[in-house]
Structure 1
Amino acid sequence: MKVYVFATISKLGMDVLTGTLIGAFIFWFVCIRHHGKGPKKYKIRRKGKYDLEYIPRTVTVPAVRGWKTSLVCKLANSYFGKMFLLDMMLQNGDFKIFRTIKMKINPTFYPNIELTEPCAKPGDINLTNEEIEEVLNGSDAKGDFDGNGFNFNCAQDFVRQYKSGETTPTAVAENAIIAITNSEKLNAIVKYDIASIKKQAAASTERYRTDTTLSPIDGVIIVVKDEFAVKGFPHTSGSSYRHPNEPAERDSGVVTKMRDLGCIVLAVANMHEFGIGTTGNNPNKGFGACRTPYHLDHFSGGSSSGCASAVGAGIATMGIGTDGGGSIRIPSAYCGVVGLKPTFARVTLAGVDGLSNSVGHAGPICNCVRDVALFHALMSGPDPEYPLGLKQPKVKLPKFGGNLDGIKIGIDRRYFKDCAPDMFKICSDALPLLESSGATLETTEFAEISDICIAHRITILSEMSTNISSDFDNEFNAISVPSRTLFALGRSVTAQDFIQANKQRTRAIEITEEFFKKYDALVTPTTAQTAPHIHPDDLAVGSTNPNQDSLNMRFVALGNFTGIPAITVPVGYNDEGLPVGFQIMCAWWREDIALQIAEYLERKIALQKPRIYNDILAP
């Protein structure tokens, strides 16, 4: 009996204890204040006073590959992920740093800078045929160094042989079709129509025969990133499910411009799915991991991966890419070619399926600086279908072939050296070349650059995850595994984070304006590492590697976030033969200065031939 009574009392005690604990938890969960708990220390940022400290930031989230990628994706998109994992990822990626910074300024959501010169008008001609010829006539970029170094075929080489009758656009197009097949391991080209290619080439050949060419670049071969609508091809943005059987009925605006000049649109090029990655690793069917022509075991970079790889492999003369977070410059650097991200809204994005509204740009990828300059001028200009770009000045181009007398270049050496040792050495070796050119090179400090990079990261991920929302909810399983994880992370960024990041953009623009009152250019490595090695487990479902993305994007974010133009040019190769890119950034609309500096460096650097290269001019 005593035992029974004791057991009854114990059970009652446990019930009371359990009920008390449950009640206390409910009270804590429902009634105790979570937000607004102080005191909390805030950093105050005031207008005109900028933080000059440089804080190297390394993302500490480990790389996940293979089945682990799928596991992380499942967790990130679960209730556990929403409550715990995504918050940890935001913390480790420094996404929360602006929550304790007070800025009494308005946010800037688009980096449209007020013009101080007359606006160009839709339909204005940036270059006359004579000016195009002048640029073309010096585009061989043979360099000032001794020896018989390698040189890419540039636009001038094609046009000269078309005019002389040594070859024809038809013959070159046939070679380009063969080059696509011979370079399949690169995964650079994803869609092409042989009948269409031959038809375009035959029309161009006939125009040369009858002296009725549409422009001085008639017959030049180009490829187009899958993010642009290209008539006759499904417009899929690197996905496996978007309109796979619905060919686009019209070209995007910039593709129309190129066709009107007589360019041959060879193919649609591979890209990182939706442009949300920087490696070019697209696990979707029909795409695959894109590789640099300098080494098949290394990624091409992304997201304009196929354009850079195809141009570097000699398949095309120019690729039309986009750049929301280095997506032109990163693959151009990894594939040993030249890529320009122009000023924000300089090139129309009409007909582009871009997800990054305020940081996205379109621009050219080519084998030499003069070709980049030429195509930049020809694809730029106001477009009524792209209102953001209606207020822009006419394109300026520099006089190529000279020195850099009078140009003042700033370098933040703390920022410049925040990269791999081989990158730092090779890019540092380019600095004396600039000094010997007549330019002045001055050490300076660029304020708040680390925070600007994080603010860009918050903004681009927020914009992309917002713009993909309907697909994310209705086509979830059709999206690649790594993209699902990143979109889930983007959806967990708060409105506070986004507003604060764009207040930081206001400061970034002010800082950049002050910098370019003193200097004509800012120089950095293009990336913090050479092309990343491909791990076997990267390929099946993709991988998630935030640290790698951080290294890829370390130097490119300023250009996207503030809208200033930036160009990458190869300045050497590491011990594995992988290219190293050097970046030049200039003030808004001053692409001419960036091009002038890049062209000077190009003349001083000996190029190396890619392991996979097609000479489509060869008989």
Structure 2
Amino acid sequence: MTTLWQASQQLQAGNASPEVFTESALRAAQDPLKEGDLVFTTRYATQAAQQSTAASARWQTQQALSAIDGLPVSIKDLFDVQSEPTTAGSHLLLNAEPAAANAHVVDRLHHAGAAIVGKTNMTEFAFSGLGINPHYGTPANPWRREDKRIPGGSSSGAAVAVADGMCLGAIGTDTGGSVRIPAALCGLTGFKPTANRINQVGTLPLSASLDSIGVIAHDVRSCWLLDSVIAEQPLELQQVELRSARFAIPQTRVLEGLDEDVALAWKHAIAVLEQAGATLIALPLEELDELNIMNARGGITAYEAWQWHQQSALAQPEAYDPQVLVRVQRGSLLTEQDASELHQQRKAWQHRINSALADFDALLMPTVPRIAPTLASLEDAQQYMEVNALMLRNTSVINMLDGCALSLPCHQTGSAPVGLSLASVHGDDARLISWSLAVETALNWRS
């Protein structure tokens, strides 16, 4: 599978045409053995083909708009596209007012010449880490597709589109792990930047205090490249050596209840990094347990989601995915005073975590504690809620911290996909992605 980074390098060397990559993506989306109808809520095949053809001419005259000019990417169904309703994986918004303008990130992609192949399916209103959608169907995880395992969410279609070659990179959102979870479960790389690095105008919110826009691709360099297109300030990759790294491994919360596959991949990754000379420090970080208290009644996410959904949830509750509605309704029990206290608690918590991490280059942890379960195993509502909380447990730490994080594959070839997460504090994105590249190289995922 050619990565976004490799395709870009081939274009810059004059060894390929963007049409080859976009045509391949569009064919994959039509492949009956794959699930393009479940991956996309809207397709732009004609426009993508036209954009790729126009980009080919620009590359031939050395007038490319960007390093991804003409290459196929997808956008999550949370981003406004002018003259279309933004449905956010729901039926509730099918007849909503069409967007008056593109979301900022969509405009960035257009200005870069990207061939946008479609809007990708997602958990309704982005309010789950599982990726299940009863309205549009749920695309199966490409790993052992016959098992019908979850893709992870909420950016479910985004991850499956990349894994199945329907695009080379995807733009998603991440409020509690919605880019990193599906990346981990589908054997991909997912990058959640510091939230204020990417302009969120024209993006339908879940929780404005925790929302961020991130990317999914096959490897670290591809994520870095796609991030550099949608961000106002591209990150500068730095030269780092693992033998000088000091990584913290939290001993609270994030290592609990790992299943056999995740535990095996985690131990292997840690052994590789130690062999490469990295210093790994077990850090108690007991403050992480405080999140259970802060989120006991739904937390900031539930409160802010209720503010957005209140009118619709009261008037048309039957239009919602019942599993999403339950989570939205929890916010109705929180007052404005509750929210104010939660924000104060979060700020104090952030200060203490930032102080604890001051001497470290990054946090290391498994992205999620278990491999993708089957859809059938989650039909029970209680099991759904328990597994959803488990999937979000580790990743949501970084959203509460307002930090940055990247998940990259750490499993052995042929094994169930498992993600290794590197994370850091607010604004440390350039160093984080540089360390992630070094870790990826050490794990030999990409040569």
Please say whether Structure 1 and Structure 2 have the same fold, judged by a TM-score greater than 0.5: yes
- 1:316-331 equivalent positions in 2, closer than 5 A: 316-331=167-182
SS at match of 2:242: coil
- Which residue in 1 is equivalent to 2:125? 274
Give the Cα–Cα distance (whole angstroms) in 2 for the partners of residues 238 and 543 of structure 1.
22
Correspondent of 1:409 among 216, 228, 247: 247
Deviations 1:466-497 (A, max 9, x none): 21112112332222222222222221234454
Higher RCO structure, 1 or 2 (CA under 8 Å, sep 6+): 1
Correspondent of 1:168 among 8, 11, 17: 17
Give the Å deviation of 1:399: 3.1
Q: Is 1:236 aligned to residue 87 of structure 2?
A: yes
Give the Å deviation of 1:194: 2.5
TM-score in terms of structure 2 length: 0.91
Give the Å deviation of 1:515: 1.6
The answer as to whether partners of 2:273 and 2:442 remain within 8 angstroms in 1 is no
Give the Cα–Cα distance (whole angstroms) in 1 for the partners of residues 335 and 345 of structure 2.
15
Give the Cα–Cα distance (whole angstroms) in 2 for the partners of residues 468 and 544 of structure 1.
25
* Alignment RMSD: 2.4
Q: Is 1:488 aligned to residue 337 of structure 2?
A: no
Q: In percent, how many aligned pairs have the same letter? A: 25
Q: Which letter does structure 1 place at the counterpart of 2:284?
A: E
Q: Is 1:158 aligned to residue 7 of structure 2?
A: yes
- Which residue in 2 is equivalent to 1:460? 301
Give the Å deviation of 1:303: 0.5
The answer as to whether partners of 2:86 and 2:96 remain within 8 angstroms in 1 is no
- 1:288-327 equivalent positions in 2, closer than 5 A: 288-296=137-145, 297-327=148-178
The answer as to whether partners of 2:184 and 2:418 remain within 8 angstroms in 1 is yes
Give the Å deviation of 1:355: 2.2
- Which residue in 2 is equivalent to 1:552? 391
Structure 1 235/554 Cα, relative in aligned 2: closer, same or farther at 3 Å?
same
TM-score in terms of structure 1 length: 0.67
- Which residue in 1 is equivalent to 2:430? 592
The answer as to whether partners of 1:322 and 1:360 remain within 8 angstroms in 2 is yes
The answer as to whether partners of 1:191 and 1:233 remain within 8 angstroms in 2 is no
Deviations 1:411-441 (A, max 9, x none): 1234342132321231122112222333221
- 1:157-196 equivalent positions in 2, closer than 5 A: 157-163=6-12, 167-182=16-31, 183-184=34-35, 187-196=38-47
Structure 1 173/469 Cα, relative in aligned 2: closer, same or farther at 3 Å?
same
The answer as to whether partners of 2:410 and 2:419 remain within 8 angstroms in 1 is yes
Correspondent of 1:523 among 360, 364, 387: 364
Give the Å deviation of 1:245: 7.3
Give the Cα–Cα distance (whole angstroms) in 1 for the partners of residues 268 and 157 of structure 2.
29
Deviations 1:109-143 (A, max 9, x none): xxxxxxxxxxxxxxxxxxxxxxxxxxxxxxxxxxx
Give the Å deviation of 1:338: 0.7
Correspondent of 2:407 among 560, 568, 578: 568
- Which residue in 2 is equivalent to 1:475? 316
Q: Which letter does structure 2 place at the counterpart of 1:501?
A: L
- Which residue in 1 is equivalent to 2:236? 397
Give the Cα–Cα distance (whole angstroms) in 2 for the partners of residues 525 and 328 of structure 1.
15
Q: Is 1:439 aligned to residue 278 of structure 2?
A: yes
Give the Cα–Cα distance (whole angstroms) in 2 for the partners of residues 246 and 466 of structure 1.
20
The answer as to whether partners of 1:396 and 1:590 remain within 8 angstroms in 2 is no
The answer as to whether partners of 1:218 and 1:262 remain within 8 angstroms in 2 is yes
- Which residue in 1 is equivalent to 2:56? 205
SS at match of 2:158: helix
- 1:333-348 equivalent positions in 2, closer than 5 A: 333-348=184-199
Give the Cα–Cα distance (whole angstroms) in 1 for the partners of residues 104 and 312 of structure 2.
25
Q: How many equivalent residue pairs?
A: 439
Q: Is 1:260 aligned to residue 111 of structure 2?
A: yes
- Which residue in 2 is equivalent to 1:448? 287
Structure 1 185/350 Cα, relative in aligned 2: closer, same or farther at 3 Å?
closer
- Which residue in 2 is equivalent to 1:356? 207
- 1:124-163 equivalent positions in 2, closer than 5 A: 152-163=1-12
579-588 vs 289-298, which moves further: 289-298
Unaligned 5+ segments in structure 2 are: none
Give the Cα–Cα distance (whole angstroms) in 2 for the partners of residues 352 and 277 of structure 1.
17
Q: Is 1:428 aligned to residue 250 of structure 2?
A: no
Structure 1 555/312 Cα, relative in aligned 2: closer, same or farther at 3 Å?
same
The answer as to whether partners of 2:401 and 2:425 remain within 8 angstroms in 1 is no
SS at match of 1:566: strand
Q: Which letter does structure 2 place at the counterpart of 1:225?
A: K
Structure 1 500/424 Cα, relative in aligned 2: closer, same or farther at 3 Å?
farther
The answer as to whether partners of 1:355 and 1:468 remain within 8 angstroms in 2 is no
